[in-house]
Amino acid sequence: MLRKMKTDKEKIIKHYEELLEYVEECNRFHVFNYYDSEYVETIKQKLKEMKAKENYDEIPVAACKHCHSLHIIEDEDSNNVCMKCGSVNDIIIYETIYSVPGHEKFKK
């Protein structure tokens, strides 16, 4: 399934690259730009975003101090509530998800 998603993303990236090439070529052959420059910049920006590698493994995570659950929700009073054990404002920030006790098994 993961390979299929990556393949789909690769297809979309290829489509954007072909679209960008086509749009820039059309603009080169016309006296005035046929496609708006803002549209061209939007395609370039979207392509740049899609090519950027997202590494979520390096993002700090918040976990419950008591049960080490990652299911923390902020309520309307800006309190951090653990949805597993119900503790309020008892969280610890870990450097990565793999440093949370009980989550080492997911390490690559």
Take residue 86 and report the two structure tokens written for it.
Answer: 């119900």
pLDDT band at 108 (very low <50, low <70, confident <90, very high): low
Cβ 18 vs Cβ 24: under 8 Å: no
| Domain regions of the chain by residue span | 2-54, 57-106
| Measured CA distances, 95 to 18, 43, 61, 66 (Å) | 40, 35, 7, 18
Taking residues 72-92, report their average pLDDT: 89
Taking residues 78-83, report their average pLDDT: 90
Query: What pLDDT was estimated at residue 70?
Result: 86
13 pairs with which residues across the strands? none
Distance in angstroms (rounded) separating the CA atoms of residues 7 and 37 = 30
Q: Any idea which residue has 């793999």 for tokens?
A: 98
Better-scored residue on pLDDT, 58 or 20: 20
- Reported as a single tens digit per residue, the pLDDT across 94-106 is 888 787 777 666 5
- Reported as a single tens digit per residue, the pLDDT across 2-53 is 455 556 778 888 999 999 999 999 999 888 889 999 999 999 999 988 888 7
- Reported as a single tens digit per residue, the pLDDT across 59-80 is 888 888 888 888 889 888 988 9
Supply the angle between the helices 2-29 and 37-51 in degrees, to the nearest 10: 150
Take residue 46 and report the two structure tokens written for it.
Answer: 């979207």
